[in-house]
Amino acid sequence: TVEPLLHRIDKAMAGGGWTAAPIVGGRQLSGQGRPVSSPVDRSRTVGTLVEATAAQVEEAVGLAAAAQPGWDRLGGKRRADILNRMADALEADDAPLLGLLVHEAGKILPDATSELREAVDFCRYYAARAREQFGTPLRLPGPTGESNDLYLAGRGVFACISPWNFPLAIFVGQMAAALAAGNSVVAKPAEQTPLIAAEVVRRFHRAGVPGAVLHLLPGTGETVGARLVADPRVAGVAFTGSTETARAINRTLADRDGPIVPLIAETGGQNAMIVDSTALLEQVVDDCIQSAFLSAGQRCSALRVLYAQEEIADRLAAMLSGAMDMLTLGDPRHLATDVGPIIDDPARQVLEEHVRRMDREARLIKAVPVPESLSAGTFFGPRFYEIDGIARLPREVFGPVLHMIRFRSGEIDGVVRGLQSTGYGLTFGIHSRLETRAFELFRTMGVGNTYINRNMVGAVVGVQPFGGQGLSGTGPKAGGPHYLLRFATEKTLTVNTTAFGGNTALLALGG
Ligand code: UN1
């Protein structure tokens, strides 16, 4: 369509009336609703959330378990066709999704459009992997008179539990992977962003995923998530969110009766960038602004700790603080806005508590004020501090707060030890013109994604497989070639072919 994007978004949002209710067996269920308000203006209601009940969790898992063998038998190629149709549908009818990303999740338009792109990429990428890995079994060399083949199959019902900070891309990515690998899915979206989740699930169904194969259970972690994970019929969990919640899921999975199943977790980080005296500071400033403050710092990949070599630390701090003056904090519906709101009040309160402590323990370099006109929303001004060591940051700070630590040229080993002591290992940046040093740092650090002389957010599906180590997650990496394998079970078939007249055909997967 030739109608400008902004007009189409306004039109899509004008009707209002968005509802997120449980979708079980392809049917949207009714119930007592509560309003979903916008982080842009807490007094504005974007839609209604109907939480799933315990009985609906039970029913969804039962239907999903019964439907999974048929979905698995369909085979990788046919499932890939459906995922490609889903990708087409996301692209064709983008306005409501972009509108909800802006209004429900508070994303600025550039973030919303790249998130939609990422969701499309996840569908197409996992479709391609499904064709390749789940299309034909792997024939293995063996002795004469015998055939040996490795088959991949879905595990059963996958629980997909997704975060509010990528309510479209990560939500779609988890489900697309689980479905591609031949699993049925019960999805529990973040309670802050259920409306966009319901839009997505309806689209999956229209693209050809049967209602019995994919169910949506909106609600909180305590009421819906915990019950879902505790159900022994759930054969695997894909989770993105906090390290604490991943631990709680692990405990529940360990304590249930029934099979031992995988948890694929993508959690937090304490992400650092090391800038030495050879770095090109103009570029460092640009990359720090992007990595620490854009998306309001609400990415698990975002930069939190900036290690600056003594010789350039003051200059870098001055340049970065000048660049922060240019950041426009504002309504995400305005094109001039760089930094939108924090997702909700509890999240903002955590940030406020953190900066109250920083104001006592650290040196404030820059604070971007929140304009009076934004008081209706959950806004928080970006801040830049200097701290005296990584020990001041015992946990991830999920927002636009950057902390600088100085180091002297002989102290790099200490910097690395300090970072390793956090236990996290998600993203890491290096700015240096010393190639050997940069590659050595990469080799030493136990982190999932390292970026040299560039920003450290926005990993591209199929190009920069994304995910961390240690407290940051289990792997395998989303958007990478090994991701689907963790969603699958392997079956080796060995046949004495002499009994069948000398050879056996490959049993086509789904053929
Ligand atoms: C997250 O923020 O939960 O590279 C993970 C990036 C994104 C991060 C997603 N893939 O910035």
Residue with token string 């290992």 = 425
Distance from the CA of 410 to the center of ligand 1, in angstroms?
33
Exposed / middle / buried, residue 62 (Cβ in 10 Å: 0-12, 13-18, 19+): middle
* DSSP helix/strand/coil, 413: helix
Distance from the CA of 302 to the center of ligand 1, in angstroms?
8
- pLDDT for position 252: 97
Distance from the CA of 174 to the center of ligand 1, in angstroms?
13
Best residue among 300, 304, 397, 463 to mutate for probing ligand 1's pocket (most ligand atoms within 8 Å of CB) is 300
- Judged by phi (left if over 0) then psi (alpha if -120 to 50, else beta), residue 178 lies in alpha
Average pLDDT over residues 16-27: 95
Distance from the CA of 118 to the center of ligand 1, in angstroms?
11
Ligand 1 closest atom vs CA 240? 3
Using a 6 Å cutoff on CB, does residue 79 contact ligand 1?
Answer: no
- pLDDT for position 506: 67
Using a 6 Å cutoff on CB, does residue 165 contact ligand 1?
Answer: yes
- Could you tell me the CA-to-CA distances from 206 to 90, 99, 121 in Å, in that order? 11, 20, 19
Q: Quote the DSSP letter at residue 321.
A: H
Concerning whether 300 is annotated as a catalytic residue, the answer is: yes
- pLDDT for position 509: 62
Residue with token string 């497989």 = 465
Distance from the CA of 145 to the center of ligand 1, in angstroms?
50
Cβ of 406: how many Cβ atoms within 10 Å?
19
Specify the pTM: 0.97
pLDDT digit string, tens, across residues 106-164: 999 999 999 999 999 999 999 999 999 998 999 999 888 999 999 999 999 999 999 99
Average pLDDT over residues 398-417: 97
- Could you tell me the CA-to-CA distances from 30 to 22, 24, 394, 417 in Å, in that order? 8, 11, 43, 54
pLDDT band for 306, please (50, 70, 90 cuts).
Answer: very high
Handedness of CA 300, 305, 307, 313 (dihedral sign): positive
pLDDT band for 1, please (50, 70, 90 cuts).
Answer: low
pLDDT band for 75, please (50, 70, 90 cuts).
Answer: very high
Cβ pair 449, 426 in contact under 8 A: yes
Best residue among 115, 270, 301 to mutate for probing ligand 1's pocket (most ligand atoms within 8 Å of CB) is 301
Handedness of CA 221, 224, 227, 230 (dihedral sign): negative
Nearest CA to ligand 1 atom 8: 301
- pLDDT for position 87: 98
Q: How far is CA 394 from the centre of its chain?
A: 23
Ligand 1 closest atom vs CA 298? 2
Using a 6 Å cutoff on CB, does residue 301 contact ligand 1?
Answer: yes
pLDDT band for 370, please (50, 70, 90 cuts).
Answer: very high
Cis before 476 (ω within 30): yes
Which of 191, 266, 386, 396 is labelled catalytic? 266
pLDDT digit string, tens, across residues 454-504: 999 999 999 999 999 999 999 999 999 999 999 999 999 999 988 887 766
User: DSSP string spanning 167-236?
Assistant: TTHHHHHHHHHHHHTT-EEEEE--TT-HHHHHHHHHHHHHHT--TTTEEE--S-IIIIIHHHHH-TTEEE
Cβ pair 476, 486 in contact under 8 A: yes
Average pLDDT over residues 255-259: 92
Exposed / middle / buried, residue 202 (Cβ in 10 Å: 0-12, 13-18, 19+): middle
Mean of all residue pLDDT scores within the chain: 96
* Strand 305-309 relative to strand 363-367, pairing: unpaired
Average pLDDT over residues 319-325: 98
Q: Which residues pair with 36 in a beta bridge?
A: 47
Nearest CA to ligand 1 atom 5: 300
pLDDT-above-70 percentage for the chain: 98
Which of 51, 123, 300, 396 is labelled catalytic? 300
Cβ of 460: how many Cβ atoms within 10 Å?
13
Asked if residue 103 has pLDDT above 70, the reply is: yes
Report phi then psi at 24, rounded to 5: -125, 125
Closest CA to 381 of 296, 271, 288, 286: 296
Report phi then psi at 347, rounded to 5: -65, -40
Using a 6 Å cutoff on CB, does residue 262 contact ligand 1?
Answer: no
Best residue among 290, 456, 466 to mutate for probing ligand 1's pocket (most ligand atoms within 8 Å of CB) is 466
3-state secondary structure 369-387: CCCHHHCCCCCCCCEEEEC
Using a 6 Å cutoff on CB, does residue 240 contact ligand 1?
Answer: yes
Concerning whether 191 is annotated as a catalytic residue, the answer is: no
Nearby residues of 505 by Cβ (< 8 Å), 6 or more positions away: none
Ligand 1 closest atom vs CA 302? 11
pLDDT band for 511, please (50, 70, 90 cuts).
Answer: very low
Q: CA-to-CA distance for 112 and 102, rounded, in angstroms?
A: 7
pLDDT-above-90 percentage for the chain: 94
